[in-house]
Amino acid sequence: MSLSDATKMQMMKCLSCAAEGDMGRRYECIVCGESVTYCGECYDGGKNVPSDKHKYYHPMKAIYNREFFELYFLGEELVNGEAPQSYKCAFCDELGFTAEELQLHVLEKHSGHSDAPKLLDILEQMSEEKKATEIRCQEKSRGGLSYEVILAEPAPNVAVPKRPVTPGKNVSVEEIEQKLKAAEERRISLEARKMAEISIKLAKVEEATRKKDEITNEFITQTKEQLENKMETHVEKREAIISDMKEKLKIHAQEIEKTRETLEQQKANEQKAIEEKLKTAQALRDENIKKMLNRLKEHERRAEVVRQNKAQTQDMDGQQSPIASSG
């Protein structure tokens, strides 16, 4: 894109939403030029509003940047440096016409419409501008000449010359038949050219489909191989992790068994120590009980001796008392 084109794109502005700069896809009036520009979204939404200058039947030219052109036309070649155009009939809203096809359509279907002559003038002017060429000649050698054919740039802002409109009621039957015959011949020619273009497009579509299938199959194969490699790596890692976990569990079980044996040994030792302490305590208890019994027996003997001594003392005191009273 040249500097002037970039500057021109920056100056673009949608009349409806006021979007500026590179709109990706925009529509520009063939007659009014850049002053009537709509972004693709606004144009698709039916916001192409007529005015005193911009009429409802003015053809709108679609302009794409490279990204949108690839998106809409799938690598289709440019036509005279521009994207292929598709126009809509302003009278019946039928879509999909080239400029030549729209001209034939208006002649065949809407020749009696009041605005048909004006639209036909515009389409005729477009056809003349498309055919305009400049031929340059330059001698390259003694043997011949080399020609360079340059297509003239379209001039949408140039006022369309008006031709006198002949009222429909004054058109003779012969003139109508001639126009219809010429229109039929142009239609047949356009259909033949259109069929050839369709064949070329179909061949391109088939080639693009074939390449797409090749790319898809290659992608599927590569993805499958990558997934298989990942699965193998995953299985290997999984087996390694499981083996490591088994080894750790084995070591852990051995440690648990060792700890259990140690605890059982400690328990046995503590049980033995408790039993020894109980035996010692029982022996001490028996010894203490024996000593206490011996003390009780000794105490009882002493008590018996004291009792006997007391009884003897009392007996002796009873014997002495009668003797004293008799004297």
Helix (H, G, I), strand (E, B) or coil at 62: strand
d(CA 187, CA 185): 5
pTM score, two decimals?
Answer: 0.40
Distance of CA 89 to the CA centre of its chain: 39
In angstroms, the CA 169 to CA 148 distance is 47
- Bridge partners (DSSP) of residue 82 are 79
Round to whole Å and give the CA distance between 89 and 113. 12
User: For the chain, which residues make up each domain, given as ranges?
Assistant: 7-151, 267-309
Amino acid at 215: I
Q: Residues 131-139: what's their mean pLDDT?
A: 46
State pLDDT tens for residues 29-51.
Answer: 999 988 899 998 898 888 889 99
Give me the pLDDT at residue 79, please. 59
Half-sphere exposure (CA, 13 Å, Cβ side) for 26? Answer: 27
Q: pLDDT tens for residues 198-257? A: 888 888 889 988 998 999 999 999 999 999 998 999 899 999 999 999 999 999 999 999
Q: pLDDT averaged over the chain?
A: 80
Cα separation, 130 vs 153, in Å, equals: 9
Determine how many CB atoms are found less than 10 A away from the CB of residue 125.
Answer: 19
Question: What does the pLDDT read at residue 220?
Answer: 93
| Residue located via tokens 């048909």 | 116
* Per-residue CA distances from 204 to 66, 141, 197, 208, 306 (Å): 19, 39, 10, 6, 145
DSSP conformational letter for 49? -
Identity at 159, one-letter amino acid code = A
Which DSSP category does 168 fall into?
Answer: G
Tell me the per-residue pLDDT of 59-94, one tens digit each, with 9 for 90 and over: 998 888 888 877 777 656 665 556 677 788 989 988
